[in-house]
């Protein structure tokens, strides 16, 4: 497909892939979906990140860690120009076909086109991955905290004050674990709960 200016315009496709572990040309062994993504992206095509995330606690880990998985196993979503289509659907791990996700003219603005629905889906997944990375950073930060450690608050209403780390807690209403500690307020020791991203360990 080309625009009125003669530029090549790519269509969005769902490319079926193997779900087995494979080794793409010049790469390491990985999930089939990741391998196909890598090869299509190397062709200059736009590949939409469709990974979802789950938190898994393994072995002696103190906290669960994010683990990324295909949201729709066996599919990769890419915008592929017509001239690259044949090569893209025959990269190692792809099955040689693709399902077009059409961007049709939306006459009824109350309805969502297939393309718009796909973009919304990718945006939701991106938000979940961003939140997972924030949770991971929190876990990485508190891994080095011991009870009694002085922590400097770097943002929020208690900025520049010190809190003594006690432990990590998580209630049913918390989106992520919080630091529980004590700080001096109005001349008294008061219990506080702080987001791990709002503190740094003071040496």
Mean pLDDT, rounded, for 31-38: 96
Domain boundary among 126, 142, 158: 142
Does 113 lie in the same domain as 21?
A: yes
- Residues 55 and 112 placed together within one structural domain of the fold: yes
Per-residue confidence (pLDDT) for residue 1, from 0 to 100:
41
Which CATH number does the domain housing residue 27 bear?
3.30.70
Same domain, 70 and 130: yes
- Residues 41-63 have pLDDT tens digits of 999 999 999 999 887 767 666 55
Instruction: Tell me which of 142, 167, 191 is where a domain ends.
Output: 142
pLDDT confidence bin for 107, thresholds 50/70/90: low
Indicate the pairing of strand 46-48 with strand 30-31. unpaired
Q: Do 164 and 117 share a structural domain?
A: no
137 and 170 inside one domain: no
Among the listed residues 81, 87, 93, the one whose alpha carbon sits nearest the alpha carbon of residue 46: 81
Question: Average pLDDT of the chain?
Answer: 85
Comparing C-alpha atoms, which of 157, 167, 161, 160 is closest to residue 196? Answer: 167
Q: Are residues 114 and 179 in the same domain?
A: no
Point out the domain boundary residue: 142, 169, 190: 142
Q: What percent of the chain has pLDDT over 70?
A: 83
pLDDT on residue 2: 38
pLDDT for residue 60: 63
Overall number of domains in the chain: 2
Range of the domain at 177: 150-201
Task: Supply the DSSP string of 135-191, one letter for each residue.
Answer: HHHHHHHHTT--TT-EEEE-SSTTTT-EEEEEEEE--TT-SS-EEEEEEEETTEEEE
The whole-number pLDDT of residue 21 equals 96
**Residue whose token pair is 């890598």:** 38
- Outline where the chain has alpha helix (H): 32-42, 82-88, 114-142
| Domain containing residue 171: CATH number | 2.30.30
Residue 109: predicted pLDDT: 66
The secondary structure of residue 25, as a DSSP letter, is T
| Structural domain contains residue 2 | no
- According to the model, what pLDDT value does residue 4 have? 37
Give pLDDT tens digits for 145-199: 888 999 988 888 888 889 999 988 877 676 667 889 999 888 889 999 988 878 8
Do 124 and 163 have their domain in common?
no
Buried b (16+ CB within 10 A) or exposed e, 109-131: eeeeeebeebbeeeeebeebbee
Counted residue by residue, the chain has a size of 203
In a domain, 163, yes or no: yes
User: How far is residue 29's CA from residue 15's CA, in Å, rounded to a whole number?
Assistant: 20
Give whichever of 53-57, 59-63, 107-111, 115-119 has the largest mean pLDDT: 115-119
Same domain, 155 and 178: yes
83-104 pLDDT per residue, tens: 999 999 999 999 999 999 987 6
Confidence (pTM)? 0.67
DSSP code for 2: B
Q: Do the Cβ atoms of 129 and 38 come closer than 8 Å?
A: no
Which is higher by pLDDT, 67 or 135?
67
């Amino acid at each position: 497909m080309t625009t009125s200016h003669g530029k090549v315009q790519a269509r969005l496709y769902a490319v079926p892939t193997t779900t087995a572990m494979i080794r793409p040309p010049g790469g390491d062994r990985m999930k089939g979906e990741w391998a196909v993504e890598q090869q299509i992206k190397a062709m200059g095509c736009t590949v939409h990140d469709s990974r979802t995330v789950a938190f898994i606690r393994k072995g002696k880990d103190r906290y669960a860690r994010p683990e990324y998985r295909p949201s729709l196993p066996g599919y990769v979503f890419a915008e592929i120009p017509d001239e690259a289509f044949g090569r893209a659907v025959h990269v190692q791990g792809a099955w040689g076909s693709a399902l077009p996700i059409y961007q049709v003219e939306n006459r009824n603005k109350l309805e969502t086109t297939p393309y718009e629905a796909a973009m919304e889906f990718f945006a939701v997944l991106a938000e979940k991955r961003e939140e997972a990375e924030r949770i991971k950073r929190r876990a990485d930060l508190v891994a080095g905290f011991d009870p009694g450690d002085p922590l400097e608050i770097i943002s929020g209403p208690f900025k520049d004050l010190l809190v003594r780390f006690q432990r990590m807690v998580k209630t049913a209403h918390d989106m992520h674990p919080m630091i529980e500690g004590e700080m001096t307020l109005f001349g008294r020791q008061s219990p506080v709960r702080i987001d791990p991203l709002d503190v740094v360990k003071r040496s």
